[in-house]
Amino acid sequence: SDPYLAPLAVVQTPSHSVTSLANHRTLATDQELFTTSLHSPGSPLFLPNGAHIFNKLLSFLRAQHQQYGFQEVITPTIYKRSLWEISGHWANYKNDMFEVRGRGASGQVEGAEIGEEAEYGLKPMNCPGHCLLFKSQKRAYRELPIRYADFSPLHRNEISGTLSGLTRVRRFHQDDGHIFCRPSQILEEISLTLDFVSMVYKTFKLPPFKLVLSTRPKDNYIGTIEEWDVAEQALKGALERSGRRWDINEGDGAFYGPKIDIVLKDSDGKEHQTATIQLDFQLPQRFGLQYHAPAPELERRGIHTNDPELLRESGEVSPVIIHRAVLGSLERFMAILIEHCNGRWPFWISPRQAVVLTVNGSDSVRGYAKTVQSCLSGLIVSRDEVDGIRSPQFINQQTFLVDLDDSNRSLGKKISEAKRKKYNMVVIVGQKNVQSCTVHLDLTGQPDRDRAKSLLSKAARRIVIEDLKS
């Protein structure tokens, strides 16, 4: 493969596993997760249930970003050709990019302003934007590592015939991160990243993954052999420290740096490359990124010194960039999760956490069922006594998605629909419950029952929750 295209594969295109994940579309239709449109092929439209899961993934990652020292940034969707020329995309990646023009540009509008002729590219990745952010301020060695995270929508012009569900798309999002660090910090950063990956895959109870290190190619590489040795030693050190098995692909690294691939084997034995950790000596050079450090000669080689003579001198050094994505494409990760859970979502991420069913259609039961729904949702709707305006909900208030089925159908039918829809909890309310202020709870659809019951009980406040004897 063309080594020059490899930087763009930092986050791999989701081409490897179309067959094994075909089934995610059926499950997604059942659960009303997303739809597609001929008006925008390859750009899934997330329905509320799908957007809920997507946003829960983001919230989860944001909470982890805090403990791993990532700072979220928000960067443009389109950049002028001038940026893609610096990054090298215009020359090497143009057929995979969408081109953008102001409508006044191509002679369609008379008297279009000068400068409106600019060609733009719709971004296929976030790295160039993060380089602009790094470069927007003077940087000193004390500030490093700087770790940027970004969830921007990205576009790649995949051939229309291959588009499918969430796995083969033109518009997608990554849990994209770029670490700008000193050469001496590579080991620690890779180590932290591997810890991050392990934590996430363990949280989702995904099968064990394989680590593969790709090293310096025999010919055609940039940087000195010493720089490569420092980097590869750091990567090996981090792999050893992780305590996991890892393999090596000698000479298979990109010309601009070594990398570690994380390969997941699903229950069908199919392999999915999800996370990637890619070192990059090149992009900092292309963008002229620098930080100020004492003893710059040693700094470049990843060596710290206490020698006052050497420390007296200071100068500019290029940071190393580590591209990393833990989930990879969020869309693709969702497809993996859909299949992995077989539509039965862990409670915290589920778009169908609970449903309240009425035993009969009497007014008192229906009224009480509405109260139960509102209690269990965790929302506290109140109004200011003076001006009558609603009070704002707190940002950190824990809330639940609770639906209500108070239709006149038989309880049996309502239960079987609730089970087909894979609600984590089925809450049943009859005449006796109205008097005793209780509900019956069916947790058959819930993996971790004790935790779920305790969460719900907390939300329920005055309402007593009884397990269903069934």
Scanning residues 343 to 402, which ones bind a copy of itself (CB under 8 A)?
348, 377, 379, 381, 387-399
Window 24 to 63, contacts with a copy of itself (CB under 8 A) = 32, 35, 37-40, 43-48, 50-52, 54-56, 59-60, 62-63
Tell which one of 61, 83, 127, 327 touches Zn ion (CB under 5 A).
127
Please choose which of a copy of itself, Zn ion, none residue 127 contacts, taking the beta carbon within 5 to 8 angstroms, the exact cut-off set by kind. Answer: Zn ion
Residue of 311, 329, 376, 249 lying closest to 57 (CA atoms): 329
Q: Are 168 and 285 in contact (CB under 8 A)?
A: no
The string of DSSP codes covering 309-348 is: HHHH-EEEEPPEEEEEEEEEEHHHHHHHHHHHHTT---GG
Q: Kind of pairing, strands 425-429 and 438-442?
A: antiparallel
Window 264 to 293, contacts with a copy of itself (CB under 8 A) = none
Task: Give the pair of three-digit tokens for residue 356.
Answer: 């309240």
What minimum distance in Å lies between the beta carbon of 466 and a copy of itself?
A: 26
In whole angstroms, give the CA distance from residue 12 to residue 449.
Answer: 37
Tell which one of 4, 9, 23, 72 touches a copy of itself (CB under 8 A).
72
Nearer to a copy of itself, 255 or 348 (CB): 348
What minimum distance in Å lies between the beta carbon of 236 and a copy of itself?
A: 19
Please choose which of a copy of itself, Zn ion, none residue 77 contacts, taking the beta carbon within 5 to 8 angstroms, the exact cut-off set by kind. Answer: a copy of itself
Q: Are 182 and 144 in contact (CB under 8 A)?
A: yes
Please choose which of a copy of itself, Zn ion, none residue 133 contacts, taking the beta carbon within 5 to 8 angstroms, the exact cut-off set by kind. Answer: a copy of itself
Phi then psi for residue 131, to 5 deg, are: -65, -40
Nearer to Zn ion, 20 or 193 (CB): 193
What minimum distance in Å lies between the beta carbon of 282 and Zn ion?
A: 12
Task: Give the pair of three-digit tokens for residue 339.
Answer: 């299949």
Please choose which of Zn ion, a copy of itself, none residue 386 contacts, taking the beta carbon within 5 to 8 angstroms, the exact cut-off set by kind. Answer: none
Tell which one of 8, 125, 127, 133 touches a copy of itself (CB under 8 A).
133
Q: Which residues of 316-345 are buried (b: 16+ CB within 10 A; e: fewer)?
A: ebbbbbbbbbbbbbbbbbbbbbbbbbebeb
Which residues are identified as catalytic?
127, 156, 174, 176, 178, 259, 323
The string of DSSP codes covering 14-65 is: S-TTTTTTTTHHHHHHHTT-EE--TTSTT--EE-HHHHHHHHHHHHHHHHHH
For residue 454, state whether it binds a copy of itself (rule: CB under 8 A): no
Please choose which of a copy of itself, Zn ion, none residue 348 contacts, taking the beta carbon within 5 to 8 angstroms, the exact cut-off set by kind. Answer: a copy of itself
What residues does 180 pair with on adjacent strands? 146, 321
What minimum distance in Å lies between the beta carbon of 339 and a copy of itself?
A: 20
In whole angstroms, give the CA distance from residue 418 to residue 414.
Answer: 6
Nearer to a copy of itself, 79 or 345 (CB): 79
Neighbours of 60 (CB within 10 A): 17
Tell which one of 9, 78, 263, 359 touches a copy of itself (CB under 8 A).
78
Nearer to Zn ion, 10 or 357 (CB): 10
Site string for Zn ion, 294-333 (x = CB under 5 A): -----------------------------x----------
Window 87 to 126, contacts with a copy of itself (CB under 8 A) = 94-106, 108-109, 113, 115-116, 120, 122
In whole angstroms, give the CA distance from residue 322 to residue 193.
Answer: 10
Given its phi and psi angles, is residue 245 left (phi above 0), alpha (psi -120 to 50 degrees) or beta?
beta
The string of DSSP codes covering 449-463 is: HHHHHHHHHHHHTT-
DSSP class of 433: H
- Please report, as ranges, the residues that interact with Zn ion according to CB under 5 A: 10, 127, 323
